[in-house]
Structure 1
Amino acid sequence: MYVFITGATGWVGSTVVQELRDAGHYVTGLVRSEDRAAALASTGVRLVRGSLDDLSLLTETAARSDAVIHTAFNHDFSRFAENAEQDRKAIRALATGLQGGGRRLIVTSGVTLVSPGQLATEDMPQGDLLHPRRSEIEARAVEELGVRVSVVRLAPSVHGVGDHGFISTLIELARRTGVSAYMGEGRNRWPAVHRLDAGRMYRQILEVAEPRFAYHAVADEGIEFRAIAQVIGRQLGLPVQARSAEHFGWFASFAGGDFPASSGRTRIELKWMPTQPGLLEDLTSPEYY
């Protein structure tokens, strides 16, 4: 298949590119950085230079593709609402290029948006309609264009050596404040998945004959936040203590959030089975620090 992927040099997108190339698919990647573009081109990927704001480019490139995998998202939380709207428009532009003929669009979302406080399953719709990120809602809306849409709901921690997401935020906060912290009793749960297992899932969705709408990229269904803080504290030689929301700043809603999620249907229907280390094991690696 000819597959167009946004975020082709990103944390998750780069693993998806490798999966697709290894499986014999032809890949076109959307890239912004010249440095990263050179490395990607050396792997045989066709490059399209641009950003998610180049809506005409997204539509035109999608129109020349059999499928699109959308992994790009700007995670600058200082302008999150604007980035969420950029993402929504990009999904619409990509679907417009794919419309008709039942071609595939795979969109990235997150399990934290489904049903905080209870075990989220693949059959549950996104729960918080007031949340600025509308990836999944827009994905449902563009089905009217005759596109076969699936959503990968990523765990809040997509981990692995080189992680620059939520776990690296916790590590840097611990270093800066001298304490590896949790909120309350630290019993709130975080699901997690290794980036290589997540990348493989996108490829498997692309190749399945009758894809469902939502899949959960979740290996660990719900690790208590306190357990994460304990491993980080042990690795850094720091005390592990409860702290108020103020300690975490902008990150407090994530640090105190309870987001358990199942991947039961995903595992059965895709025959997807995580093979990489779990989060707590991964966090014992010195390379993480």
Structure 2
Amino acid sequence: MNIFIIGATGFVGGALARHLSAEGHTVTGLARAKSAAATLASQGITPVAGDLDEHRPTVIEAARAADTVIYAAQAGPEQESATVQDLIRALTGTDKTLLFLSGNGVLVQRTAGAWSPDVFAEDDPVTPEPLAAYRKAAEDTVRAAAQDGLRAMVIRPGLIWGPGDHGHVSMVYQSVAATGAACYIGEGLNTYSHVHIDDVTRLFSLALEKGRPRGLYHAVAGETPNRWIAERVAADLGVEARSLTPQEAADVWGEFGALIMAVSGRIRAVRAQQDLGWQPQHTDMLSMIGEERLRRLATPAG
């Protein structure tokens, strides 16, 4: 199968490109810079030079040439909305496959560090987080296009962890560099569902094999309150765990980072398990605690 990945140089898109190439697919990937293109080529992935702004026609042409298109980019609202609409116009009626990577950020609740009992399966109605309303709109646009000769689906993972400095664990280590303590917000009982990157790539393979048009598939393997993360990091480094106010958190992680560390986002992967037979193989995000790459984040700059 010929697969074109938009976002092939990112954390998730790059893992998808390598995984699908290893499965024997012919993979091309969008690359904005020459260095990124060289990296893709060294991995056996054919680079397509371009971006989602002035070179979007190049992107759409590469999409037309593929059997499957995977949108895994982290773009701004206007870029994402325009690109999705252009892709659908180009692929409608072709019976090709379009997979759109979203995330459970679309349904998070602003609990300011408090616990939430709410957990959402794929078919449950959700009220989108205002900052992610554009992403929920893109999800809806992709799924609606499935009735027009396009096998369109959405993959919505929880917090993705794995090799690299991504997510809440790394952010807690970074807070030690800034404050001397492993930090959380408020009570620290807010909980974000998580999933390993390898389990996400396997879900994409299953969706390609037997996903249904208009399908929405969650990916989740576990969930951990932020205070538990902070307490484990504190024990690893021999420091205290400490609660921050929202303003203190903004000073440590920035406004957006503080928002991420204060919300709850709990999901269940009912459709992914029942329809695709997906089961996660990596369930303990806290197994990363103590890795040297993370400990380095706790060292103050300079």
**TM-score scaled by length of structure 1:** 0.88
Residue of structure 2 equivalent to 1:79: none
Equivalent residues of 2:165, 2:294 under 8 A apart: yes
Q: Name stretches of at least 5 consecutive residues in structure 1 with no aligned partner.
A: 75-82
Q: Name stretches of at least 5 consecutive residues in structure 2 with no aligned partner.
A: 110-115, 296-302
Deviation at 1:47? 1.2
Q: Against the structure 1 CA distance between its residues 163 and 129, is the aligned structure 2 distance closer, same or farther, given a 3 Å change threshold?
A: closer
**1:68-79 to 2 correspondence within 5 Å?**
68-74=69-75
Q: Against the structure 1 CA distance between its residues 274 and 11, is the aligned structure 2 distance closer, same or farther, given a 3 Å change threshold?
A: same
Equivalent residues of 1:67, 1:103 under 8 A apart: yes
Residue of structure 2 equivalent to 1:18: 18
**Partner SS for 1:131:** helix
Tell me the distance in 2 between the aligned counterparts of 1:215 and 1:17: 19
Deviation readout 1:222-261 (Å, 9 max, x if unpaired): 3111111112222232210111111211122221211111
**1:269 matches 2:283:** no
Amino acid at match of 1:60: E
Residue of structure 2 equivalent to 1:150: 153
Equivalent residues of 1:107, 1:136 under 8 A apart: no
Equivalent residues of 1:109, 1:153 under 8 A apart: yes
Amino acid at match of 1:91: V
Tell me the distance in 2 between the aligned counterparts of 1:18 and 1:212: 26
| 125-134 or 237-246, which deviates more | 125-134
**1:250-261 to 2 correspondence within 5 Å?**
250=255, 251-261=257-267
Equivalent residues of 2:156, 2:219 under 8 A apart: yes
**TM-score scaled by length of structure 2:** 0.85
Of 56, 81, 99, the match for 1:88:
81
**Partner SS for 1:48:** strand
Deviation readout 1:111-158 (Å, 9 max, x if unpaired): 131263410111134522743552332232243453222111121x31
**1:102-117 to 2 correspondence within 5 Å?**
102-114=95-107, 116=109, 117=116
Tell me the distance in 2 between the aligned counterparts of 1:232 and 1:219: 21
Deviation at 1:284? 3.5
Q: What root-mean-square deviation, in Å, do the aligned CA atoms of Structure 1 and Structure 2 show?
A: 2.0
Tell me the distance in 1 between the aligned counterparts of 2:294 and 2:129: 35
**1:228 matches 2:229:** yes
**Partner SS for 1:215:** strand
Residue of structure 1 equivalent to 2:200: 198
Tell me the distance in 2 between the aligned counterparts of 1:125 and 1:18: 34
**Partner SS for 2:140:** helix
**Partner SS for 1:52:** coil
Q: Against the structure 1 CA distance between its residues 20 and 140, is the aligned structure 2 distance closer, same or farther, given a 3 Å change threshold?
A: same
Residue of structure 2 equivalent to 1:168: 170
Amino acid at match of 2:107: V
Deviation readout 1:161-184 (Å, 9 max, x if unpaired): 312344323321221111111222
Amino acid at match of 1:162: G
Q: Percent identity?
A: 31
Equivalent residues of 1:6, 1:29 under 8 A apart: yes
Residue of structure 2 equivalent to 1:77: none
Residue of structure 2 equivalent to 1:248: 249
Number of residue pairs the alignment of both structures matches: 279
Q: Against the structure 1 CA distance between its residues 11 and 209, is the aligned structure 2 distance closer, same or farther, given a 3 Å change threshold?
A: closer
Q: Against the structure 1 CA distance between its residues 37 and 165, is the aligned structure 2 distance closer, same or farther, given a 3 Å change threshold?
A: farther
Deviation readout 1:85-131 (Å, 9 max, x if unpaired): 21111111222221113221111111131263410111134522743
Tell me the distance in 1 between the aligned counterparts of 2:52 and 2:172: 29
Tell me the distance in 1 between the aligned counterparts of 2:58 and 2:136: 22
Amino acid at match of 1:199: T
Residue of structure 2 equivalent to 1:101: 94
Equivalent residues of 2:249, 2:258 under 8 A apart: yes
Equivalent residues of 2:151, 2:212 under 8 A apart: no
Q: Against the structure 1 CA distance between its residues 125 and 137, is the aligned structure 2 distance closer, same or farther, given a 3 Å change threshold?
A: farther
